[in-house]
Structure 1
């Protein structure tokens, strides 16, 4: 009796897991497929930007060294309607200084981060651009936010939860199947059987990767709400309680960038400075954020904070000296994007990301094949090839269209159009479902 109850209980749990796995795959699979494609491309943003803009990012090596302070002092008067946001220092795939400026008057439809590229050996201006009009930004934004300005990041975070649950339920469901069938064996014959074997094999093979991407994607997407709700401060944050300047004085303060850079190398010799970021809110400080080679943490986790006037060190944050919680916080982004071990790891991430997309596609094919007979009896069937072709054209067409809009109009207008289309699509679907239910109830309960 006890054994039979256990069997019934196991079958009930298995059926429940099947429902969850199928529901997640059916309703979020297309989103996960979209994110897999865009995520695989976004891995190579620096490399792609270098390929498209070698004149901005590449210079000939030279023993000469220009003054960063002089370069900033030359650029700022050329843009009186903007203020200095940060300076990005040379690194892999970037030989130049990037001086980033922000507009003093913000525009919702035309947001801007203005980039000025400087040859660090000669001080020559190589070119300028609005970062929001670049292909690099398009790749980032379409993956991180779906190019939707308000809740896109949170929707991506929910997709991360869906990927995690789908992977976990898949493990529980298919784990028992793999005991009955040699691992990696792909049966030929019916399309559904072949796709099911591939689905199981790739799903189990990429289990750890998909669980990690799901967890980190959920955290990064929902981070703002989770940190607020759980009262989690950013581990390397620093702020002054007292303002030493007015905002205008702080914004216009003439900073010696060369001296700050040299002091950062003295105070934290293992850190390679990546960004120098002065305040504009009256605190009168300058932050130097950087990377320690060989670490797997987020590239900007290590930090030094100096006083603008005295150049005294006010704060030092070395991630290697922090507790487990802080280290866990700063591996989320680096683990998600795989940018801590060079191009070889990025290629591995690229292949694994595409495999995640294949799981969504193969799951969809399995579902269509399983329901084909019942739908064909109702006259609702559409050839599999036609359906996959439509979805492929739809996904790639959407990506290309948003890319063209982004590179021509920047962030504001494309994000507005995507938001209208995105939420409009769901409103239409909901209305159609409600009308379908209303018509169905009218047929069941006709008026007398």
Structure 2
């Protein structure tokens, strides 16, 4: 590699790393408990005994009425099922377009309809960590900024591989030269941890960047596909008297046999237009349970309107969200994600140490050139 090219790669690695390191440290530290967010949430939930196998679920319309009795004046927004417990949640809000942080949640036993203690969207340590991790409490601008930091991190990883790849090939894997200088030992530690976490860090960085554009992608899908069906109801007000929710879910089940409902959106929430229930069905495998298939049910008549297919970009988004937090292989994969997260923190800290102990750029480039030729860096 020519010296000018090597110097360019060095500068790319140096500045992309410097710009994103502090924010990556924040993401790694807040992301560590979020990896186990589902398990932590279940610890706070009440224990619910499994129902008898022949027990019939309570009518969903009755569940919604119970939830609304807890929050008088609210309207129903979403109804969903916990796949790991016999519970139903009902999200309510003051109006149909209430944003998630302002929603109020009722948790009910799926069979008896008993009201259970429910965690709310906008409270608790996990909510604070989630907002800090995703958008720095700045909304969409914060999300896009953190996505840009994730992309810079990916560039820093690739440029680091270009710089130190030839050197690493000439050293036994895991070499830590501790007998010469402290800076050299830190450099070896930085390189070894970087190689160990390379694939994982790229996956998490890229999926994190994809997740930050979830809102624009969802809006594009709503405008593209749902707008087509909404046009049929142009000029008609949103219905105030709704058809049976239970009947709508039963219709969706019949339309998509072999799938189960994950959640239902009410008219006006943005997920199903102003005139439909959106019954979002999911499969039963680790992959297909992430790829929702919407079934639109006319909220006034209860008739099946359409079964639109999700576009490719929405499928990519839905698959990247759980991959970012290691949510495909249950607890064992989450433990691996957490360990790799800790190693990545080591990469970032060692990189900061190397920057504070830096020499001038030309000296560092000469050092990398020697390392590539001889396999030894000074």
Give the TM-score range, shorter chain: 0.7 to 0.9
Deviation at 1:114, TM superposition (A): 0.1
- For residues 107 and 114 of structure 2, the distance between their equivalents in structure 1, rounded to whole angstroms, comes to 9
Partner of 1:357: 345
Match of 1:272 among 254, 260, 270: 260
Deviations 1:374-398 (A, max 9, x none): xxxxxxxxxxxxxxxxxxxxxxxxx
Deviation at 1:331, TM superposition (A): 2.3
User: Could you tell me whether the CA contact under 8 Å between 2:244 and 2:302 is conserved in 1?
Assistant: no
Deviation at 1:155, TM superposition (A): 1.2
In structure 1, runs of 5+ residues without a counterpart are: 1-6, 373-448
Match of 1:14 among 6, 29, 49: 6
Q: What aligned pairs does 1:162-241 form with structure 2 within 5 A after superposition? A: 162-189=152-179, 190-222=181-213, 233=221, 237-239=225-227, 240-241=230-231
Partner of 1:256: 244
- For residues 309 and 98 of structure 2, the distance between their equivalents in structure 1, rounded to whole angstroms, comes to 37
Q: What aligned pairs does 1:87-236 form with structure 2 within 5 A after superposition? A: 87-92=79-84, 94-104=85-95, 112-128=102-118, 130-149=120-139, 151-189=141-179, 190-222=181-213, 233=221
Asked if 1:46 corresponds to 2:38, the answer is yes
Judging by fraction of residues, say which structure has more helix.
1
SS in structure 2 at match of 1:242: helix
- For residues 40 and 127 of structure 2, the distance between their equivalents in structure 1, rounded to whole angstroms, comes to 11
- For residues 37 and 191 of structure 1, the distance between their equivalents in structure 2, rounded to whole angstroms, comes to 26
Partner of 1:299: 290
Is the alpha carbon distance of 1:365 and 1:298 closer, same or farther for their aligned partners in structure 2, counting shifts above 3 Å? farther
User: Could you tell me whether the CA contact under 8 Å between 1:286 and 1:307 is conserved in 2?
Assistant: yes
In structure 2, runs of 5+ residues without a counterpart are: 361-378
**Please, what is the CA RMSD of the aligned residues?**
3.1
Deviation at 1:180, TM superposition (A): 1.8
Deviations 1:333-381 (A, max 9, x none): 2322322332222222222222222211110112223369xxxxxxxxx
Partner of 1:72: 64
- For residues 315 and 136 of structure 1, the distance between their equivalents in structure 2, rounded to whole angstroms, comes to 37
User: Could you tell me whether the CA contact under 8 Å between 2:96 and 2:267 is conserved in 1?
Assistant: no
- For residues 286 and 211 of structure 1, the distance between their equivalents in structure 2, rounded to whole angstroms, comes to 38
User: Could you tell me whether the CA contact under 8 Å between 2:51 and 2:86 is conserved in 1?
Assistant: no
Is the alpha carbon distance of 1:325 and 1:103 closer, same or farther for their aligned partners in structure 2, counting shifts above 3 Å? closer
SS in structure 2 at match of 1:50: helix
Partner of 1:344: 332
Name which of structure 1's ranges 235-244 and 339-348 shifts more when overlaid on structure 2.
Answer: 235-244
- For residues 132 and 325 of structure 1, the distance between their equivalents in structure 2, rounded to whole angstroms, comes to 29
Asked if 1:60 corresponds to 2:49, the answer is yes
Deviation at 1:72, TM superposition (A): 0.8
- For residues 304 and 169 of structure 2, the distance between their equivalents in structure 1, rounded to whole angstroms, comes to 60
Asked if 1:314 corresponds to 2:305, the answer is yes
Deviations 1:128-163 (A, max 9, x none): 553211334223212111223352101111111111
SS in structure 1 at match of 2:232: coil
Asked if 1:368 corresponds to 2:356, the answer is yes
Deviation at 1:272, TM superposition (A): 2.5
- For residues 305 and 105 of structure 1, the distance between their equivalents in structure 2, rounded to whole angstroms, comes to 17
Deviation at 1:194, TM superposition (A): 2.1
- For residues 298 and 134 of structure 1, the distance between their equivalents in structure 2, rounded to whole angstroms, comes to 28
SS in structure 1 at match of 2:111: coil
Partner of 2:372: none
Is the alpha carbon distance of 1:95 and 1:134 closer, same or farther for their aligned partners in structure 2, counting shifts above 3 Å? farther
Deviation at 1:232, TM superposition (A): 6.0
Partner of 1:37: 29
User: Could you tell me whether the CA contact under 8 Å between 2:241 and 2:300 is conserved in 1?
Assistant: no
Is the alpha carbon distance of 1:154 and 1:254 closer, same or farther for their aligned partners in structure 2, counting shifts above 3 Å? same
Partner of 2:369: none
- For residues 183 and 140 of structure 2, the distance between their equivalents in structure 1, rounded to whole angstroms, comes to 40
User: Could you tell me whether the CA contact under 8 Å between 1:33 and 1:358 is conserved in 2?
Assistant: no
